[in-house]
C-alpha cells in the first residue's frame, strides 16, 4: 500500500481551507472595488450637482427679485403715470449689480434708459437692437405675461467676444392699468458672475471651488480658485445665460482622486490581509512539518540507538565467550579480543553518556561547572584515553597545539565530551581516507580546537541541519555507519553554554573541519571567576 504523506495532507488542507478562500475573496473584492469607485464618484458628483443647481437657483432668484421690485414701482404709480426718474435712479442705487435700466412699450416704442453713468450714449439703440434681434422671444414674453407668468430671458449685448461683455435680463412687467411694458436690466457679466459664485463657493472655508466659463470659447469669466479649468467637473449651463456654464470641483482632492485613493487603500488592505494569511499558512505548514519530521526522527533514533546498543553487546558477548572457553591459543589473538571488548565497552559508555547528556539537556538540567581551562590540556586528556581506539581504527592523529594561547572558561568534562564527539565522527565518516588532525589556535579574542578529517565531507545544504537533534544524512557511508544523531546537537549545546560556537568547513568527498570556538578568558576582568557553576 502506498504510504500517505502527512506533510502533503497538511499543505492540501491549508490551501483548501485558508489560501483558496482568501484568494477567491480577494479576487471578488478587487473586482468589486472598481464598482465601488464608480459609486463613490457618482455620489460625489450628485452632491456637486445639487450645489450647481443651487447656484443656478440663486442667480434666478436675484434676477427675479430685481424684476419684482421694479414691477412693484410701476404698480404703485397713479393710473397712466410713468415711474419718475428719481425713483428709478434710487432703484439703481439700491441695486448696484444693475448697470442700466431699459423700458419700452410692448411694441418696443418710446424706449427709456436710466443709468447711474453720466453719459449713456447709444443705450436706447442698444436696447432697441436687442428687442429687434429676436421678436419671437418678445412675443413669447408678452404672451406669458398675459397669462400671468413672468419669465426672465437672459441675452448678450453687443460683441459677444469682448472680454467685458454686457448682459441683458429681459422681462415684461405690467403697470397699474395692466399695460404690458418691456423692461431690461443691463448687467456687467463679470460682476454678475462673481456675485453668484461668491454667494456659494467664494469663501475660503468652502469645500468646493467654482468657475464660470463661456461655453463657446471655454474662456474663464470668473473662478473662486486658481485650479486649471479642466478640473472643474461637473459643469452645468446657467439657466439665465445659456452661453455661460458653471463648473465645480472639491477643493482638497478631486472626485477621481478620492475614489482612487480609497481604492488604493482598500487594495493595500486586501493585499496585506492576503500576505498575513499566506505568512500564517506558511508558519503553520512549517511547524507541522517540523513536528512530523521530529516524530520520524524520534522513531529513527529509537531504532538507531537499539542498534548502537545491540552491536557492541553482541561483540562483547561473543569475544568474552570465546575467551572463556579458552579456545584461543595465541597470546596476540587473546590480546586483540580483549582490546575489542574494551573498545566496544568504551563505545557503549560514550553512547550512554551521550544519552544521559541529551536527556539532561532536554530537561534543562545539565549542570556546567566553569573554571579556567587550557585547550591544549583538554586535547591531550581526550587523546590519552582515545588514542588506543584511534590506533586500532588505523588512525595516527596529527596534533598541532598552539604554544601560546589564552586560557578559556570551561567545564572540562563537557568540552572533552564535545571534542570526543567530533573525533568519533571524524573516525566514523572517514572511509578509507584515514587522516585526523587536531589543532588548537587563537585570534580575535577567540580560542579554538579544530578537528580535521579527509573523509566523506558534508554538502553545504546539510551544514545547519546536522546540528539538529536526531538529524543524520542518511546516504552513503552514513547509512551504513552506526549513530544516534545526537553527537553534534550535544556538541552545539555544550558550546552554547560556553558562549562559543561550532564552526564547520567541509567539501563533499574531500573532508571536513569542525572547530570548537571559545571566547578567550581575559584574566583581569571580574567575569573570569574560577569555578563558576551554571546550569544550562
Residue 155: strand pairing partners = 168
Return the number of the residue (211 or 308) whose C-beta is nearest ligand ADP: 308
Quick check: 348 binds ligand ADP (CB under 6 A)? no
The answer to whether 210 contacts ligand ADP (rule: CB under 6 A) is no
How far apart CA 14 and CA 19 sit, in angstroms, is 7
Contact 449, 379 (CB under 8 A): yes
Closer residue to ligand ADP, CB minimum distance, 186 or 472: 472
C-alpha angle 502/504/507, rounded to 5°?
Answer: 170
Say if CB 431 and CB 455 are below 8 A apart: yes
CB of 367 to ligand ADP, least distance (A): 22
Phi first, then psi, for residue 336 (nearest 5°) are: -60, -40
Query: Which residues on neighbouring strands pair with residue 214, listed in sequence order?
Result: 219, 244
Minimum distance from residue 10 beta carbon to ligand ADP (Å) = 27
Q: Does 247 bind ligand ADP (CB under 6 A)?
A: no
Q: Site mask, ligand ADP, residues 494-523, x = CB under 6 A?
A: ------------------x-----------
Give the whole-angstrom CA distance, residue 52 versus residue 49: 5
Among the listed residues 452, 449, 451, the one whose alpha carbon sits nearest the alpha carbon of residue 376: 449
Which H/E stretch holds residue 489?
helix 487-497
* First-to-final CA distance of the chain: 46
For ligand ADP, which stretch binds (CB under 6 A), given 145-153, 224-232, 267-275, 467-475? 467-475
**Binding flag, residue 483, ligand ADP (CB under 6 A):** yes
Contact mark string toward ligand ADP, 374..413, x via CB under 6 A? ----------------------------------------
Count of residues of this chain found to bind ligand ADP when the rule CB under 6 A is applied = 23
The interface region with ligand ADP, picked from 233-241, 355-363, 408-416, 486-494 by CB under 6 A, is: 486-494
What's the distance, CA 74 to chain centroid? 73
Which residue shows C-alpha cell 537533534? 469
> Which is closer to ligand ADP, CB of 184 or CB of 483?
483
Which residue, 296 or 335, is less far from ligand ADP as judged by CB? 296
- Contact flag: residue 455 with ligand ADP (CB under 6 A): yes
Residue placing its CB nearer to ligand ADP in the complex, 229 or 396: 396
| Residue 297 CB-density burial (10 A; 0-12 exposed, 13-18 middle, 19+ buried) | middle
Determine the 3-state secondary structure of 255 from DSSP: helix
Residue 19 DSSP code: I
**Residue 15 per-residue DSSP state:** I
User: Is the Cβ of residue 187 or residue 426 nearer to ligand ADP in the bound state?
Assistant: 426
Region binding ligand ADP by CB under 6 A among candidate stretches 2-10, 46-54, 65-73, 469-477: 469-477
Site membership for ligand ADP, residue 423 (CB under 6 A): no
Q: Does 417 bind ligand ADP (CB under 6 A)?
A: no
Tell me how far, at minimum, the Cβ of 268 lies from ligand ADP, in Å: 46
Task: Give dist(CA 498, CA 519) in Å, integer.
Answer: 8
User: Can you spell out the DSSP letters for 92-157?
Assistant: HHH-TTEEEEEEEETTS-S-EEEESSS--TTHHHHHHHHHHH-HHHHHHHHHHHHTT----EEEEE
Does position 201 bind ligand ADP by CB under 6 A?
no
Under the rule (CB under 6 A), what is the footprint of ligand ADP? 421, 425-426, 428-429, 453, 455-458, 466, 471-473, 478, 483-489, 512
Amino acid at each position: 500500500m502506498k504510504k500517505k504523506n502527512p506533510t502533503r495532507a497538511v499543505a492540501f488542507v491549508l490551501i483548501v481551507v485558508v489560501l483558496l478562500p482568501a484568494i477567491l475573496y480577494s479576487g471578488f473584492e478587487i473586482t468589486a472595488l472598481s464598482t465601488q469607485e464608480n459609486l463613490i464618484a457618482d455620489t460625489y458628483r450628485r452632491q456637486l450637482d445639487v450645489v450647481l443647481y443651487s447656484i443656478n437657483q440663486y442667480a434666478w432668484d436675484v434676477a427675479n427679485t430685481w424684476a419684482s421690485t421694479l414691477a412693484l414701482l410701476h404698480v404703485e404709480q397713479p393710473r397712466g403715470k410713468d415711474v419718475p426718474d428719481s425713483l428709478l435712479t434710487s432703484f439703481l442705487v439700491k441695486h448696484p449689480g444693475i448697470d442700466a435700466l431699459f423700458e419700452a412699450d410692448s411694441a418696443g416704442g418710446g424706449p427709456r434708459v436710466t443709468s447711474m453713468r453720466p453719459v449713456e450714449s447709444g443705450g436706447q439703440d442698444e436696447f432697441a437692437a436687442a428687442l429687434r434681434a429676436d421678436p419671437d422671444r418678445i412675443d413669447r414674453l408678452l404672451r406669458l405675461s398675459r397669462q400671468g407668468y413672468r419669465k426672465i430671458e437672459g441675452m448678450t449685448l453687443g460683441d459677444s467676444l469682448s472680454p467685458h461683455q454686457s448682459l441683458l435680463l429681459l422681462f415684461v412687467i405690467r403697470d397699474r392699468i395692466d399695460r404690458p411694458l418691456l423692461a431690461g436690466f443691463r448687467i456687467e457679466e463679470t460682476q454678475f458672475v462673481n456675485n453668484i459664485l461668491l454667494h456659494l463657493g467664494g469663501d475660503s472655508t468652502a469645500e468646493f471651488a467654482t468657475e464660470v466659463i463661456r461655453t463657446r470659447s471655454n474662456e474663464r469669466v470668473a473662478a473662486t480658485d486658481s485650479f486649471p479649468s479642466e478640473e472643474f467637473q461637473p459643469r452645468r449651463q446657467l439657466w439665465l445665460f445659456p452661453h455661460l456654464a458653471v463648473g465645480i470641483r472639491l477643493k482638497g482632492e478631486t472626485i477621481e482622486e478620492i475614489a482612487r485613493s480609497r481604492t488604493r487603500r482598500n487594495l493595500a488592505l486586501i493585499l496585506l490581509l492576503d500576505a498575513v494569511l499566506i505568512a500564517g499558512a506558511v508558519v503553520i505548514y512549517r511547524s507541522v512539518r517540523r513536528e512530523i519530521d521530529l516524530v520520524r526522527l524520534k522513531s529513527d533514533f529509537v531504532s538507531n540507538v537499539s542498534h548502537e546498543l545491540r552491536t557492541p553487546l553482541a561483540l562483547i558477548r561473543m569475544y568474552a565467550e570465546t575467551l572463556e572457553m579458552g579456545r584461543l591459543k595465541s597470546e596476540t589473538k587473546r590480546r586483540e579480543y580483549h582490546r575489542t571488548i574494551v573498545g566496544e565497552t568504551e563505545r557503549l559508555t560514550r553512547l550512554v553518556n551521550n544519552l544521559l547528556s541529551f536527556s539532561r539537556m532536554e530537561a534543562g538540567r545539565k549542570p556546567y561547572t566553569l573554571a579556567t581551562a587550557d585547550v591544549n590540556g583538554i586535547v591531550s586528556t581526550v587523546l590519552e584515553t582515545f588514542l588506543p581506539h584511534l590506533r586500532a581504527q588505523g588512525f595516527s592523529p596529527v596534533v598541532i597545539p598552539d604554544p601560546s594561547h589564552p586560557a578559556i572558561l570551561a567545564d572540562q568534562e563537557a568540552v572533552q565530551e564535545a571534542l570526543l564527539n567530533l573525533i568519533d565522527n571524524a573516525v566514523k565518516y572517514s572511509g578509507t581516507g584515514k587522516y585526523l588532525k587536531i589543532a588548537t589556535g587563537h585570534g580575535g579574542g577567540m580560542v579554538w580546537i579544530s578537528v580535521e578529517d579527509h573523509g566523506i565531507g558534508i554538502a553545504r545544504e546539510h551544514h545547519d541541519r546536522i546540528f539538529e537533534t536526531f538529524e543524520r544524512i542518511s546516504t552513503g557511508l552514513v547509512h551504513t555507519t552506526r549513530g544516534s544523531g545526537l553527537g553534534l546537537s550535544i556538541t552545539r549545546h555544550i558550546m552554547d553554554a560556553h558562549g562559543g560556537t561550532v564552526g564547520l568547513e567541509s567539501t563533499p568527498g574531500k573532508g571536513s573541519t569542525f572547530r570548537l570556538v571559545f571566547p578567550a578568558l581575559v584574566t583581569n576582568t571580574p567575569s573570569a571567576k574560577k569555578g563558576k557553576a551554571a546550569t544550562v
